[in-house]
Structure 1
Amino acid sequence: MMQLTSRFPGTAGNLMLLALCIVWVPDTVLAAGPSFDCAKVETGSIEEIICKDDPLSALDRKMTVVYDAATKKATNEHPPVLKAGQRGWIKGRNECWKSDDKRRCVEESYTLRIAELQARYRLVSFTGPVFYTCDGQPANEVVATFFQTEPPSAITERGDQTSWMVQQPAASGAKYQGQNETLWEHHGEALVTWGYGAPEMRCQAKR
């Protein structure tokens, strides 16, 4: 063992103790809970699961940071959909108590909501917009902007409709899935479906 020496009598032991105190930090000091007060959550609730899980607590803290950043961007938003959307998301997150895998449900809920806010309020880097002409008809246009969220996502527009899409596994290119819309892009060409049961459109990026 390395011996600590000092020209001041009796300080070697103190120096050793100080070194140990600097190196060793209890886990309870390093760990941090979620953004809400865990002392007030109900037993068996989704909030209790989050409080007892460090990675989920970290996601909750990240959500708070992202939501605050989105709020600053949404100052002049009309109608003010952010706050109502967040309330709806919290309600949906809490419905994870019905899931067979509650933890996974909560984790996916946070991950997707964080990515959606980052995309909708331009809080991360993005590429686009890219304009696609579909089925050879200039009036039939789809506009897509691609975001470096986690997972990667895209916001697509067609007429007065907008869809937020999440990238899905694909053999080639990049495939994005929304609620009832898909965009499968590869080298400037895209296959797009817009609406439940809608026919597939072949689209070409404008140059």
Structure 2
Amino acid sequence: MVRGVAGRSLPLAALLALAVVQVEAAGPSFPCNKTFSGSIEERICRDAGLSALDLHLAEVYAAAERKADNEHPPFLRAEQRGWIKGRNDCWKSKDVRLCVEDAYRLRITELQARYRLVEALGPFRFACDGSAANELVVTHFRTDPPSLIAERGDETSLMRQVPTGSGTRYEGRNESFWEHQGEATVVWGWQATPMHCVRKP
């Protein structure tokens, strides 16, 4: 982790700003002379911001790999290969650069949260729809943007903070968590009915 003044962690935006000035010489984490013309890898090599994100992800992935050393089953590497394939599918997107950038930012956040590579707050327990048995467990992480991991039964969802007019809202793949003054509106699953959840003491 890069440290700033007085040993404090630099936010991702500041980290990228520092990294960009060195990217032309350093490049991304992979050899650019082995990329194919028109490929996503070639685009990353030509883009200082994307190269900086690639270097940052390589650092975060290495830290996650150390934490996952005793993971059973060992799925981190296989998952990373799947992520690379998904990133490379960004050529299908209308805004290719935005797709690649968002893929990197989401993966960095996911690894930092899942492997506890950044400061965590919680866990906090919520009783949903008036039932103590219908419990949601939420842990917040100081990623950029802020994120949380919510657990409900044997299901888990990673969500990132999104702008909202009031309270704090997080969105995942098919879930959302909107908290205000100790109460939360939670959607768990595609087109699921919103639940009303109250934080337990």
Q: Do Structure 1 and Structure 2 share a fold, with TM-score over 0.5?
A: yes
Against the structure 1 CA distance between its residues 29 and 80, is the aligned structure 2 distance closer, same or farther, given a 3 Å change threshold?
closer
Summarize the alignment of residues 144-163 of structure 1 with structure 2, pairs less than 5 Å apart: 144-163=138-157
Letter in 1 for 2:148: A
SS of 1:144 mapped into structure 2? strand
Which residues of structure 2 form unaligned runs of 5+? 1-20
Query: Which entry has the higher C-alpha Rg, 1 or 2?
Result: 1
| Residue number in structure 1 paired with 2:182 | 188
1:83 deviates by: 1.1
Two-structure CA RMSD over aligned residues (Å):
1.5
Distance 1:135 1:90 in 2: 39
| Residue number in structure 2 paired with 1:122 | 116
User: Does the 8 Å contact 1:32/1:54 carry over to 2?
Assistant: no
| Residue number in structure 2 paired with 1:56 | 50
| Residue number in structure 1 paired with 2:59 | 65
1:59 deviates by: 0.6
User: Does the 8 Å contact 1:183/1:192 carry over to 2?
Assistant: yes
User: Does the 8 Å contact 1:31/1:54 carry over to 2?
Assistant: no
| Residue number in structure 2 paired with 1:165 | 159
User: Does the 8 Å contact 1:141/1:158 carry over to 2?
Assistant: yes
SS of 1:31 mapped into structure 2? helix
Against the structure 1 CA distance between its residues 29 and 97, is the aligned structure 2 distance closer, same or farther, given a 3 Å change threshold?
closer
| Residue number in structure 2 paired with 1:24 | none
Summarize the alignment of residues 16-165 of structure 1 with structure 2, pairs less than 5 Å apart: 31-165=25-159
- Aligned-residue identity in percent: 61
Letter in 1 for 2:139: T
Distance 2:104 2:116 in 1: 18
SS of 2:173 mapped into structure 1? coil
1:193 deviates by: 1.3
Tell me the alpha carbon deviations over residues 95-153 of structure 1, each in whole angstroms, 9 at most, x when there is no partner: 11111221111111111110110000000112110000011111000000011111111
Distance 2:168 2:153 in 1: 23
Which residues of structure 1 form unaligned runs of 5+? 1-26
Tell me the alpha carbon deviations over residues 31-57 of structure 1, each in whole angstroms, 9 at most, x when there is no partner: 320010000000000000000111111
| Residue number in structure 2 paired with 1:16 | none
Letter in 2 for 1:100: K
1:81 deviates by: 2.0
SS of 1:68 mapped into structure 2? helix
Distance 2:38 2:179 in 1: 44
| Residue number in structure 1 paired with 2:15 | none
Distance 1:95 1:29 in 2: 24
Distance 1:132 1:62 in 2: 34
Distance 2:86 2:22 in 1: 31
